[in-house]
Amino acid sequence: MKNIIFLILILLFPFAIHSQRLSVSEDGRRLINEDGSAFFYMADTGWELFHRATKEETELYFKDRKKKGFNVIQAVILAEVDGLNTPNTEGEIPFEDLNSLKPNEAYFNHVDWVIRKAGELGLYVAVLPTWGDKWRKQWGLGPVIFDNPDKARNYGQWLGERYKDLSNIIWVIGGDRNPDNDQHLEINRAMAEGINKSVKGKHLMTYHPSGSASSSTWFHNDKWLDFNMLQSGHSIAQPQVYRNVEKDYHLKPIKPCLNGEPQYEDISVGFTALNERFVAYDTRQSAYWSVLAGAFGHTYGNNNIWQMWSPKHKPILNARIPWYEAIHQPGALQMGYVRKLFESRPFLKMIPDQEVLAKVYGQNKDEIRAARGADNSFVIVYSPYGNPIHLDLKKLTGDTLVGYWYNPREGESLSIAPFNNTRKVKAFVPPSSGVRTDWVLVLDDKTKNYPNPTTITLK
């Protein structure tokens, strides 16, 4: 009888057997699965997913993202693009009316379906209860419906109760807005507390701020904030995103940190149509800079995908490629290469360390970023322009070192022949250099037998 019930549960709720509950590692630096293994967070921003995608489109999108190595989708229940008044693809709006804020069951049935469908593929959904224009208009369509903490708390508690038993949810408060006053702080805290009243810590929670800001500015010491999320944004080319991550990494108490919205692929720099657009190089540079500075993963975005743009919609921020074509732009594929590399080494025990870079004239120790294993058994170094890397080999254990030049554009590795560890400074010259010609150097203690990153199979 028990076996029959279990089989029925599997058929009805397939998400439950694919997604382990996530928690924060003992040292406060990473996320881990229930079995204690590292969870490398690799997200795509599908902000308008609940609002603009049909069930068929959602399945197409999920299958593509899973295949490319993503394991988290960031999406918004009360969407940015008139999410309160423009119906979803099934003709439903979130509330029966905006005065009572009584949830429309039909709308949330679709939200249920999306989250469960993600779970079937082992995908987590980083769920924003609302975009920030619903509590601070500032820009956007609004209207402001959470104008006091009680409304936010009630909505949060309703969501928490509805989704408390789903294992593939991460809650994200905020929604591209920064609190401007005490009331804004109270509203966001109330929404978080409302969710937690039912969830009771079973789901992780963070806060999504505006560009060039971090959740740590307002909420670092709040108990409900499990990890910090920053947004480096889309305003300038070559933003030093590692600076933002470093700041949060060194805060006390220690909490994991993540760049939850860096520059999107195919968005105009500074949102200006006449400017160049960010390309795949920009997205992967942000990824390697962030993770090597201490982030526990990364978020990718594409200007055409976040808004689920197609010719039937008015383009926002100069969207120009239908989302179902934009999913094949190279930056997304290269995020899978990022994840493969870091999952090929003991990521739970990786420490950012710029001191492995020798003080050599001409070596830019800011733009070349490095991290090593806590036991000094490996080092990973990113050179954004293919410039030579000078390493202090005293930082590495093992009398014999082996390694790879990892190509972040193609996900391929070129082996470096074993050599003696002289414990001195040694120069490593990438196979090529130039504009948008980045390389990653991986060196290992030979006795560890770490795998070639290209052989890793993502789950």
* Amino acid identity at 303: N
CA distances from 4 to 10, 11, 79, 103, 434 (A): 10, 11, 40, 34, 61
148 and 264, same domain (yes or no): yes
Quote the CA–CA distance of 287 and 284 in Å, as a whole number. 5
Task: Give the tens place of pLDDT for each residue, 412-442.
Answer: 999 999 999 999 999 999 999 999 999 999 9
Q: What is the dihedral of CA 313, 319, 324, 326, to 10 degrees?
A: 180
- The two counts, helices (H) then strands (E), for the chain are 12, 20
Quote the CA–CA distance of 145 and 202 in Å, as a whole number. 27
Quote the CA–CA distance of 255 and 267 in Å, as a whole number. 31
CATH number, residue 57: 3.20.20.80
Quote the CA–CA distance of 348 and 406 in Å, as a whole number. 20
User: Residue 56 in contact with residue 47, Cβ under 8 Å?
Assistant: no
| Residue 250 CB neighbours (<10 A) | 11
| Residue 1 CB neighbours (<10 A) | 5
* Helices 241-249/280-292 angle, 10° precision: 20
291 within a domain of the structure (yes/no) = yes
370 and 317, same domain (yes or no): no
Domain count, the chain: 2
149 within a domain of the structure (yes/no) = yes
307 and 388, same domain (yes or no): no
150 and 278, same domain (yes or no): yes
Task: Give the tens place of pLDDT for each residue, 68-116.
Answer: 999 999 999 999 999 999 999 999 999 999 999 999 999 999 999 999 9
Residues 6+ apart with CB under 8 A from 124: 19, 22, 71, 72, 73, 118, 168, 169, 170
CA distances from 194 to 108, 149, 154, 189 (A): 18, 10, 6, 8
- Residue 136 pLDDT exceeds 70: yes
User: Residue 293 in contact with residue 282, Cβ under 8 Å?
Assistant: no
CATH number, residue 432: 2.60.40
164 within a domain of the structure (yes/no) = yes
H-helix or E-strand spanning residue 207: strand 204-208
179 and 96, same domain (yes or no): yes
22 and 91, same domain (yes or no): yes
423 within a domain of the structure (yes/no) = yes
334 and 392, same domain (yes or no): no
* Parent domain of 419: 348-451
What pLDDT, on a 0 to 100 scale, did the predictor assign at position 19? 75
- Tokens found for residue 282: 């920009």
2 within a domain of the structure (yes/no) = no
- Tokens found for residue 215: 């959740």
| DSSP classification of residue 210 | -
Task: Sort 324 into a burial class: Cβ within 10 Å, 0-12 / 13-18 / 19+.
Answer: middle
Residues 6+ apart with CB under 8 A from 162: 108, 112
What pLDDT, on a 0 to 100 scale, did the predictor assign at position 18? 57
For residue 383, the cross-strand partners are 439
Q: What is the mean pLDDT of the chain?
A: 94
Final residue belonging to a domain, choices 343, 362, 378: 343
Quote the CA–CA distance of 322 and 306 in Å, as a whole number. 11
164 and 307, same domain (yes or no): yes
In 3D space, the residue among 369, 102, 117 whose CA is nearest the CA of residue 246 turns out to be 369
What pLDDT, on a 0 to 100 scale, did the predictor assign at position 16? 43
415 and 447, same domain (yes or no): yes
124-130, strands of its sheet edge to edge: 204-208, 169-174, 124-130, 72-78, 41-45, 297-300
6 within a domain of the structure (yes/no) = no
Task: Give the tens place of pLDDT for each residue, 5-30.
Answer: 434 444 444 444 357 899 999 999 99
Residues 6+ apart with CB under 8 A from 119: 14, 15, 16, 18, 19, 166, 167, 168
296 and 167, same domain (yes or no): yes
- Residue that has been written with the tokens 């199979």 in this structure: 457
5 within a domain of the structure (yes/no) = no
132 within a domain of the structure (yes/no) = yes
Residue 238 pLDDT grade (very low, low, confident, very high; cuts 50, 70, 90) = low
354 and 330, same domain (yes or no): no
C-alpha distance across the termini of the chain, in Å:
32
Burial 109-127 (b: 16+ CB within 10 A, else e): ebbeebbbbbbbbebbbbb
Quote the CA–CA distance of 278 and 63 in Å, as a whole number. 25
Q: Mind giving me the DSSP string for 239-255?
A: --HHHHHHHHHT-SS--
- Tokens found for residue 350: 């990786």
110 and 259, same domain (yes or no): yes
Final residue belonging to a domain, choices 298, 322, 343: 343
Backbone angles phi, psi at 161, to 5 degrees: -65, -40
Question: What mean pLDDT comes out for the span 440-445?
Answer: 98
What pLDDT, on a 0 to 100 scale, did the predictor assign at position 198? 87
Final residue belonging to a domain, choices 305, 325, 343: 343
